[in-house]
Structure 1
Amino acid sequence: MQRDAIRTRRALLEAAERALMSHGPQVSLEVVAQDAGVSKGGLLHHFRSREALLRALCEHWIQQYDDAVARHLEPDDGRPGRFCRAHIKASFDPSIGDGPWRNIGVQSALLAIPGLFEHARINGRRWENEMGSDGLHPQRVLLIARALDGDSMTEMFDAGSDDGERVELRDLLLALTESNQPLI
């Protein structure tokens, strides 16, 4: 029974993600439920409201990113910048994909949900603190963190961004972690 609930919840989150991509941020719960193969009542059993579903979806995306960082964290890497390297690699990890979180309309709708903007800020600070926790010079951490934020915004506003430029950016950011002196 518990496994079915977990499986249904996951199916609903995946359906919500697809529905957001297809129908935009005002997608109805009926569309999400139908896509997941459950009734609207079944959806409401797991998520009491549209807002609760969208909150859970944001949590799911944050968890996907945290999982990607964990996958890219090298256990034998004791050099300064270990967390920065993991965050850089996670930010460019194809398994994260081009989901609705990279859509400005979806972002705008999500940020209108009470408390979600603050939650996003808290996670952003957590990630920056994590990147700054392993001895890399703070100037390098600041530049890397802001470049990753900027790349996310570029992806959101420029759907036709150049993959070659993104690979180059990833490599430049990784190179910043290979030295620990101040930049200026």
Structure 2
Amino acid sequence: MTKGGLFHHFPNKQALVEGVFVDLLHQLDSAIDARMQEDEEPYGSFTRAYVEVTFEEFELGKTGPAAAITLSMLAEPTLARRLEDWLQDRARRHSETDPGPIMPIIRFAADGMWLLHALRATGAPSPIPLSLRNELVAMTRPR
């Protein structure tokens, strides 16, 4: 693609960055939706899928949309509003199966662990105990 072709679709750098970020949110959506379709328990299914997708990236040593979203927001803080809007929309769509306040707290915990993982020194052992993933997932189950 030529520079002219790129700027035909994205009039400036900010529009390009936002376009990439929106695409990353769609990828995250798809990964979460796929997990939810596999889940036989409706209660907590969105939060469970969110935690699993978030942890999967650093458990498997791969990078995916969650990593790119986190690092993009660090580089361009205005993108945080787009993520916040996405999270609020998903929370509304899943309010019957993922009621508050515990489900958002579980998602915030997963986000915090991902950020800690993303910011760690290259080559350093992961400070995240993987058993924590199982504990967070267990908290999403009906009691």
- Give the TM-score of the pair, scaled to structure 1: 0.61
**Structure 1's 141 and 132: CA in aligned 2 closer, same or farther, altered over 3 A?**
farther
Structure number with the bigger relative contact order (C-alpha 8 A, sep ≥ 6) is 2
- Offset of residue 79 of structure 1: 4.3
- Offset of residue 48 of structure 1: 1.4
Give unmatched runs, 5+ long, in structure 2: none
| Partner Cα distance (1:118, 1:108) in 2 | 12
**Structure 1's 79 and 49: CA in aligned 2 closer, same or farther, altered over 3 A?**
closer
| Partner Cα distance (1:49, 1:135) in 2 | 38
Aligned residue for 2:117?
155
Match of 2:103 among 141, 160, 166: 141
- Which residue type is aligned with residue 76 of structure 2? L
Give unmatched runs, 5+ long, in structure 1: 1-37
Larger radius of gyration: 1
Alignment partner of 1:177 is 2:143 = no
| Partner Cα distance (2:139, 2:87) in 1 | 20
* 1:134-160 per-position Cα deviation (integer Å, ceiling 9, x unaligned): 055x34313312212212321232244
**Structure 1's 100 and 174: CA in aligned 2 closer, same or farther, altered over 3 A?**
closer
- Select between 60-69 and 118-127 the one with higher mean Cα deviation: 118-127
Alignment partner of 1:57 is 2:23 = no
Paired residues of 1:80 and 1:135 also in contact (CA < 8 A): yes
Instruction: Please provide the CA RMSD for this pair.
Output: 2.8
Alignment partner of 1:123 is 2:86 = yes
- Which residue type is aligned with residue 170 of structure 1? R
Match of 1:66 among 29, 36, 56: 29
- Offset of residue 63 of structure 1: 0.7
* 1:13-56 per-position Cα deviation (integer Å, ceiling 9, x unaligned): xxxxxxxxxxxxxxxxxxxxxxxxx2211211221111111000
Structure 1 vs Structure 2: percent identity of aligned residues? Answer: 22
How many residue pairs match? The answer is: 136
| Partner Cα distance (2:34, 2:127) in 1 | 22
Alignment partner of 1:84 is 2:56 = no
SS of the residue 1:133 aligns to: coil
SS of the residue 1:74 aligns to: helix
